[in-house]
Chain A
Amino acid sequence: MNASCLTTLFALLITQTTFAQIGRPFIHDPSTVAECEGKYYTFGTGGGGLISNDGWTWYGGGVRPGGGAAPDVLKIGDRYLVVYGATGGSPNHKGAILTMWNKTLDPKSPDFKYSEPVVVATSDGYEENDAIDPGIMLDPTTGRLWMTYGTYFGYTRLIELDPKTGKLKAGNKPVDVAIVCEASTLVYRDGWYYLLATHGSCCDGANSTYNVVVGRSKKITGPYLDNVGRSMLQGGGKMVVATRGGLIGPGHFGHIVLENGVEKMSIHYEADLAQGGRSVLGILPVVWKDGWPIAGEKFKEGTYEIESVRRGYALELAVDFTRMAVGPRGFGQPNNDPIKPAPAQQLADVQKNWPTGPIHLRIGDYMSRPHQQWTITDAPDSTGYLGGPYYKIVLAGTDRALAATADAEVITVPAFTGAPEQLWRIDQLTDGTYRIMPKTVPNSGKKLALVSSGDSTPTLAEFDYNSDNSKWNFRNH
């Protein structure tokens, strides 16, 4: 292999690598990512946890006492309820789950102090359950606090906790809701309770088969049925997220609702091949399809048509349309000339006629022309947001970059400078479409998104999930 080939191969490896998260995101059995005073926190097995200022770059520093395994965290009122398994799963399956409170997750805060942990569930080593892997949910319809727990050893169980004390609700008895699952948790949506749990094997690096499945029920106590009507008490479950690329063995689903239409899941991958096969934190969009949650995609770099969901038109430079040569027509006339492919219009064919300064944008019929194709890459910027980095969006083949303006419009500037108004956040929404937002709007503290104010007019405005004006698709033709 010559040097050129090696360079190409190296470049391919670099560009095709998809990191789950960056920094030092090494964790196993992460708690649902929780926000506290502008930072993000997740705790793992063994104690401690990860902290991130932006949700993309993670470092150690979280503090959770008690050791054990597989915690979960939920903010209730102005406090955080932290729940964890005391044993991390002992060979004799004797275990206990404890809850404790803290006013803050920031270990540097003067308010940082955990309450004394209290036991809310146990397994005696003989019963068909192992009291580890808790997941907690506050039912938005009733305000009642529920916890599921259990592992491969028998049943996943449901108990009710007191949301004021974090203790087991008086008189509550566990209900079996699934079998051979780990790391379960509940989600409520549109009249359904969803039980998400991890199947497969763990802790064997890239050989781990962990995957997250789901069943749903109209009642919190089940039965939780999958998409073919099979109960999770019979092993049923519809796939939510499985191995993708070098990110192997996802498990420990946690549900994060950022705002209407923007939901994420926190998970861990048993092995991230790009990071030496270590277990790492992962954050993916949650997409709801036909009433079922599935993992969306972390945005992939590439060259795309950016399609407005409003009408299906494409984002384009506001430049003169340049006609292409029209092929032979002569319908009905005999023509035995050889058929040759017609060349596509090239950037060089049209660029020379464009202005050299800022160029406005519009949305038009997609014609596969150079002024309609956008190359989107991770920006040379270390910051990000929950689950992703900021992106640089340039017209394909050029350095002409998409930028927000101080008057809340969107234009292109001749060259990408890395200015924050040229950095774009891309979130997959719960319906599978995308939201595109500048990191900042100059001289504005407003959080605005790219929207279609008319079929052909892009602008910046507040994001509205209920309007197709706020949604975009990326088409890779």
Chain B
Amino acid sequence: MSEKVLMKGNEAIAEAAILAGCRHYFGYPITPQTEIAAYMAKKMPKIGGCFLQAESEVAAINMVYGVAGTGKRVMTSSSSPGISLKAEGLSYLAGSDLPSLVVNVQRGGPGLGGIQPSQSDYFQATKGGGHGDFKMIVLAPSSVQEMADLTIKGFDLAEKYRMTAMILADGTMGQMMEPVTLEAPSVNEYDKSWAVTGTKCDRKKNIINSLSLVPEELEKLNFARYERYKAIEENEVMYEEYMMEDAEICIAAFGIAARVAKNAINAARKEGIKAGLIRPITLWPFPNEVFKKAADKVESFISVELSMGQMIEDIRLASECKKPVYLCNRVGGMIPSPEMVLESIKAHYKGGTK
């Protein structure tokens, strides 16, 4: 399928996963990501794949653990409360160094919250997502095309570094429809000599396990894992800059918020305000360098978020607090309007003279 089709973000993720060679999907329905499961349920049986609706999110993530141990491409998807339920499994996947793709189409929280879009799982996604020292590669799509492209990328990165890659989308990204072009990617082959595939009595058996009772050895595993994380921070950062060449005020936003921010920046430019955008595509690894450099050029930052201000902390860290970082936000399922972002830009541009 390399022709253009009209897809929901959720469907694009599902189809891209299939194109990337994923033949195992385990999930449990929850709005606003249920179309991923529905699409998999329709498609997987037709292509010899496995769709299984588990009895719970906890069961689904542990089924992911099982397939991941065999070295096969596997995924699960959920929305915020469901991801919390998967947290234990995410930690076990990290502790066993298993590749997997996990999708979080966020909704308003905390608790059962609501069903409308949100970005308030930023901390949960980027600061671990479970107990213990670990990271996930966190990818934040901003269009339906990117939902597909980053899913394909996510599978590759997960295998390359033997860890979980998470697509951190939101309800709007999951539900909105846009034209997409999908093509089967060329799949990179990585070493999978660790996988549990049957020894056929001619090799030492592999063990997939996150239990390590000797402190010296568990420490060594942790240090080695963080060496791998360092390589990711050096090599895998992705971001987009928009009108940053001469920007005096920098908007930072990802996902749906970045689309709103672009409209606000276009409106600001028409009024002579030099606004620009940095859109992190990888939320971990965070694009620290580009924010650090921007801090020497711009007067201030505005973080536009569908949360009470979570990414704003990473911007302050990355920019080493050289310039003020303001927050422009809506929460609980609400989305900031371009007008609201424009107002925020005017309120902070050149100390609020405009």
Genuine A/B complex:
no
B residues with a Cβ closer than 8 A to A are: none
